[in-house]
Amino acid sequence: MTDKARIAAYSGPAGGWGSLRSVEERLLEEHRLASGNAVLLRQNKPEGYSCVSCSWAKPAKPRAFEYCENGAKATAWEITRKRVPRDFFAQHSIAELRRWSDHDLEAAGRLLHPMRLDHAAGHWVPVAWEDAFREIGRELRALDPRSTVFYASGRASLETSYMWGLFARLYGHNNLPDSSNMCHESTSVGLPESIGAPVGTVTLEDFAATDCILAFGQNVGSNSPRMLHPLQEAVRRGVPILTFNPLRERGWERFTNPQSPREMLTGAETRISARYHQLRAGGDSAAILGLCKALLEGDAKARAAGKPAWIDHAFIAEHTEGFDAFAAAAMGTPWEVLEAHSGLARTALAGTAAIYARSRAAIGLYGMGLTQHRKGVENVRMLVNLLLMRGNIGKPGAGVLPVRGHSNVQGQRTVGITEKPKLVPLDTLAKQYGFTPPQETGMNTVEACEGIIDGRVRAFLGLGGNFLRAVPETAAMEAAWPRLRLTVQVATKLNRGHLFNGEVAFLLPCLGRIERDEQASGPQFVTCEDTMTKIHPSHGQVPPAGSRLRSEPAIVAGIAQATLPPNPRLPWAEWVGDYSRVRDAIAATYPEAFHDFNARITRERGFHRPLPARQRVWKTKSGKASFLTPSTLEEDPDTATTAPEVLQLVTLRSNDQFNTTIYGHGDRFRGVHGTRMVLFVNRADAARLGLAEGATVALETAVEDGICRRVEGFRVTAYDIPPGCCAAYYPECNPLIPLWHHAEGSKVPAAKSVPVRIRPMST
């Protein structure tokens, strides 16, 4: 915590002048104030680049400024003028760098030179690209492929991701965990069971046609600010937005469009949510069951009085199964139980259900507040239940909308980044490349961590990301990591994950998506899929940060060629020379989604991949959309406790970070300046537990498994958060999350409810 640390309630809206100031500060820090603004004009445009921040959809007719505060920060971060010079590591040993903060490591600038770890010297030393590839290939050939893990963070393009997954399978494994395993995997598991599709059904056009929006567990102002534009337009049409979140997030309260001169000059604000429910963390299933119960009760009354039904009975009869059991469970659960688990009053839930019952077409959107729980998969399916009750899937203006994180995280799965072989057309791959793909299910993120801790995993290759910092159980993971034989990290900037390495270790710097990528056939572009299943191109704009950087496809191909026996059906070098050849290969593997890929991406500049659920074709076992009857309303049965001093910790993102990338030490919307070591607690809990405002405390995980998990140095801050919950930032809190505390079915770490005890610290 710095001396400048200050916490004071923020009175401004999301967006507004604070947003413009924040972007300017960031451009200044990266020495990009003049040129940065010009680059930003080409963000999310057909001939421009796709934002490297979140995966929110790009409109067909972009605005002049199709970017937001945090997209601008992500751009500034990538096109920074700061560089890690060749002799940087000779001056800064691994041991020293471990004492640097996450912010300071990345602030060193762009990585420029491939590096090999010199253990004796204790630092990274430059290595030639070809020597690196040769040695990685030699190491991989000596290992059992099934003891290796190829991680991908959700930023890599469709082209790179396809090559990465293919390389893993040719080499002999499906150990392809990705950031999605910590994120929307609860969606990828839950939605297929409910509606027979792993992705959301909403398109941007639906926002223009909807007349009701239900928003669960997502922080729009910080994490997908461009969504505030369609939300603002919806509010102006009188669409009620019904929000469920333990915290009063400013983006769901009010917004001033920083790109509207009128709003900026007059200070006009749009009130976003019509109703704001501050439910208990983990209370969503109970809240949704309450809404459904209120719908059932309202429906019975309305029909008895000869009024229009509250439930779409015809849709339910024709398109769904499991309704009767679900309705019986809702009716059989007493209101007191629903109130206790959700933390919401019956009257509040009934009022919101009545608004929903009057709507014609509703969207249900959500983020990590639903997925990162022990019951994350059930939470997602419960939201679908609520939508199915009124036929809100597969009609204009309606649908389910997981708001994805990384800009191509959804697309990676589409082109084969998954540990589950059943999600990949293995027969097609076998024919296309003349090999026998591995059939065995691979490791996801949690399983890869288990394998690293128990020694089964011998090598870890990371295509971007900051695995070690993003996963739970930091202490055990950092201790186990150096026992790996081989670690390879492909990255743009230095992070803590690069300071823990195997016996043989490489750090390979790559081009970012905003940079021009010249290959043998000329300038290349890549493609990504957004959260609304739209595929679009991204063209690099600025010169590369350094002349020795290689593109991600070139690095993947380099390692693959050095590892695999030659195979004339795998033209790695030609693929690197011309990415349209990779797109041809993707089209051959996935013809339904990607037929005529190159022609369509050039001609139409983007296309939606087909989604049967949008047409009410349900690719589920029963051929119908399926109601889930919840197994329990206990949010986190594996750590349930009644001890009064235990609070449920929610781990949060600030408005000044992108995952483990910390742009600055503050969180404007929550009134935090100059620090990230803040513990938000309910005022009554603070009084009850004897915690003085501003006191410094430690957090300890309240589970009995023989491991002491503790993080120190948080400043107690009374906050508007429901009793029994507290909140602090990710990734600082990751050492507190037990590896086994994850969602049933999807294994997404349950980062939104970690039972903790608060311990005083003498300062």
Ligand X SMILES: Nc1nc2c(c(=O)[nH]1)N[C@H]1C(S)=C(S)[C@@H](COP(=O)(O)OP(=O)(O)OC[C@H]3O[C@@H](n4cnc5c(=O)[nH]c(N)nc54)[C@H](O)[C@@H]3O)O[C@H]1N2
State the residues that interact with Mo ion by CB under 5 A.
183, 405
Kindly state the smallest distance separating residue 595's Cβ from ligand X, in Å.
Answer: 28
* Phi and psi angles of residue 746, each rounded to the nearest 5 degrees, phi first: -115, -15
Alpha-carbon distance of 717 to 216, in angstroms, equals 25
Pick one of Mo ion, ligand X, none as the site partner of residue 367 (Cβ within 5 to 8 A by kind): ligand X
Kindly state the smallest distance separating residue 462's Cβ from ligand X, in Å.
Answer: 8
Pick one of ligand X, Mo ion, none as the site partner of residue 407 (Cβ within 5 to 8 A by kind): none
């659960």: which residue's tokens? Answer: 333
H or E stretch covering 468 = helix 467-470
Kindly state the smallest distance separating residue 554's Cβ from ligand X, in Å.
Answer: 12
Alpha-carbon distance of 395 to 387, in angstroms, equals 11
Pick one of ligand X, Mo ion, none as the site partner of residue 244 (Cβ within 5 to 8 A by kind): ligand X
H or E stretch covering 533 = none
Kindly state the smallest distance separating residue 464's Cβ from Mo ion, in Å.
Answer: 13
Determine the 3-state secondary structure of 437 from DSSP.
coil
Q: By C-beta, is 430 or 640 nearer to ligand X?
A: 640
- Cα dist. 163→102, 172, 559, 575, 622 in Å? 30, 14, 11, 9, 35
């792993």: which residue's tokens? Answer: 198
Q: By C-beta, is 446 or 647 nearer to Mo ion?
A: 446
Q: By C-beta, is 277 or 624 nearer to ligand X?
A: 277
Q: By C-beta, is 218 or 270 nearer to ligand X?
A: 218
Closest-CB residue for Mo ion? 405
Alpha-carbon distance of 148 to 380, in angstroms, equals 32
Strand pairing of 696-701 and 115-118? unpaired
Q: By C-beta, is 333 or 342 nearer to ligand X?
A: 342
Pick one of Mo ion, ligand X, none as the site partner of residue 106 (Cβ within 5 to 8 A by kind): ligand X
Kindly state the smallest distance separating residue 249's Cβ from Mo ion, in Å.
Answer: 17
Alpha-carbon distance of 183 to 188, in angstroms, equals 10
Q: By C-beta, is 223 or 270 nearer to Mo ion?
A: 223
Pick one of Mo ion, ligand X, none as the site partner of residue 512 (Cβ within 5 to 8 A by kind): ligand X
Which one, of 489, 466, 463, lies nearest residue 553 by Cα? 463
Kindly state the smallest distance separating residue 210's Cβ from ligand X, in Å.
Answer: 20
Spell out the SS3 assignment of 709-751.
CEEEEEEEEEECCCCCEEEEECCCCHHHCCCCCECCCCCCECC
Non-local (6+) Cβ contacts of 34 within 8 A are none
Alpha-carbon distance of 183 to 27, in angstroms, equals 29
Q: By C-beta, is 94 or 182 nearer to ligand X?
A: 182
Q: By C-beta, is 212 or 727 nearer to Mo ion?
A: 727
Amino acid at 438: P
Q: What's the token pair of residue 433?
A: 């490349």
Kindly state the smallest distance separating residue 649's Cβ from Mo ion, in Å.
Answer: 19
Pick one of Mo ion, ligand X, none as the site partner of residue 249 (Cβ within 5 to 8 A by kind): ligand X
Q: What's the token pair of residue 217?
A: 């567990």
Q: What's the token pair of residue 502?
A: 């195997």
Q: By C-beta, is 270 or 753 nearer to ligand X?
A: 753
* Burial (CB count <10 Å: 0-12, 13-18, 19+), residue 261: exposed
Kindly state the smallest distance separating residue 281's Cβ from ligand X, in Å.
Answer: 4
Pick one of Mo ion, ligand X, none as the site partner of residue 258 (Cβ within 5 to 8 A by kind): none
- Cα dist. 550→353, 518, 547, 628 in Å? 54, 10, 8, 48
Alpha-carbon distance of 148 to 136, in angstroms, equals 12
Q: By C-beta, is 216 or 572 nearer to ligand X?
A: 216
Kindly state the smallest distance separating residue 305's Cβ from ligand X, in Å.
Answer: 33
Applying CB under 6 A, the residues found at the interface with ligand X are: 53-54, 70, 106, 153, 155, 179, 182-183, 216-219, 222-224, 244-247, 249, 279, 281-282, 284, 367-369, 372, 405-406, 463-467, 470, 490-493, 495, 510, 512-513, 552, 650-653, 657-661, 730-731, 733-734, 737, 751-752
Kindly state the smallest distance separating residue 659's Cβ from ligand X, in Å.
Answer: 3
Strand pairing of 525-529 and 522-523? unpaired
Pick one of ligand X, Mo ion, none as the site partner of residue 460 (Cβ within 5 to 8 A by kind): none
Pick one of Mo ion, ligand X, none as the site partner of residue 658 (Cβ within 5 to 8 A by kind): ligand X
Pick one of ligand X, Mo ion, none as the site partner of residue 192 (Cβ within 5 to 8 A by kind): none
Q: By C-beta, is 290 or 391 nearer to ligand X?
A: 290
Kindly state the smallest distance separating residue 104's Cβ from ligand X, in Å.
Answer: 12
Which one, of 685, 670, 676, lies nearest residue 728 by Cα? 676
């309450």: which residue's tokens? Answer: 290
Query: With contact defined as beta carbons under 8 Å apart, do 205 and 182 qualify?
Result: no
Let me know how long the chain is.
763
Kindly state the smallest distance separating residue 442's Cβ from ligand X, in Å.
Answer: 17
Bridge partners (DSSP) listed for residue 755: 648
Q: By C-beta, is 298 or 465 nearer to ligand X?
A: 465
CB atoms within 10 A of CB 61: 5
Q: By C-beta, is 293 or 406 nearer to Mo ion?
A: 406
Q: What's the token pair of residue 483?
A: 């026992």
Kindly state the smallest distance separating residue 409's Cβ from ligand X, in Å.
Answer: 7
Pick one of Mo ion, ligand X, none as the site partner of residue 559 (Cβ within 5 to 8 A by kind): none
